[in-house]
Homo-oligomer: A and B are copies of this chain.
């Protein structure tokens, strides 16, 4: 299991970026490795390729499974577990979005909703609640957007994208025709 120069660089870059993307270095490297290799790999191969301990690989694989980014495969006549990415790059992107929404947005939305039930008792709380309401509405808008985009096919997305700035124009038109909501 030797990595080409290029694969090496890709994997290592992913390792560096991974903390910004919500997982730790090893997890990022394992994922990058599986993305870049065409065949599935077992834990020992991963351990060797990345120079990390067997136990660490085991934990990393579990984490990636909890993200639903990789899947286990068995090869007949081989006792080892083999792993590959779960779907195409864009499948994985969708999964990451959904999973990050759950971890990064949902808890905050839920907290905000709770707070918005209370009645503010003074100026200061009035202002606080105002801000929280704004944040709440924004996060909700974003998650709904995300859900819509997630449900669109890659082609539709492309198509919408090509419309580009035209989207705004189209909206104006619609507003003119239908009447500003």
Q: How many copies does the complex hold?
A: 2
| In the complex, chain B residues whose CB is within 8 Å of the CB of A165 | 148, 151
Are B156 and A171 within 8 A (Cβ)? yes
Are B20 and A20 within 8 A (Cβ)? no
Number of interface residues of A (CB under 8 A): 60
State which of A47-55, A56-64, A67-75, A119-127 sits at the interface with chain B.
Answer: A119-127
Assembled-state Cα–Cα distance A112/B160 (Å): 24
Are A104 and B161 within 8 A (Cβ)? no
As a 0/1 sequence over residues 118 to 155 of chain A, the CB contacts with chain B under 8 angstroms (1 = contact) are 10000111011001101100100110110011011000
Chain B min CB distance to A32 (Å): 10
| In the complex, chain B residues whose CB is within 8 Å of the CB of A37 | 124, 127-128
Chain B min CB distance to A145 (Å): 6
Are A115 and B36 within 8 A (Cβ)? no
Are B89 and A10 within 8 A (Cβ)? no
| In the complex, chain B residues whose CB is within 8 Å of the CB of A164 | 144, 148
Assembled-state Cα–Cα distance A17/B38 (Å): 36
Chain B residue nearest in CB terms to A111: B13
Chain B min CB distance to A15 (Å): 12
Assembled-state Cα–Cα distance A90/B137 (Å): 10
Are B141 and A158 within 8 A (Cβ)? yes
Chain B min CB distance to A131 (Å): 5
Are A38 and B124 within 8 A (Cβ)? yes
Chain B residue nearest in CB terms to A164: B148
Are A21 and B144 within 8 A (Cβ)? no
> 11 more A-B contacts (CB under 8 A) besides A9-B115, A88-B134, A160-B167?
A4-B124, A4-B125, A6-B115, A6-B125, A13-B108, A21-B104, A38-B124, A90-B134, A144-B164, A159-B171, A159-B174
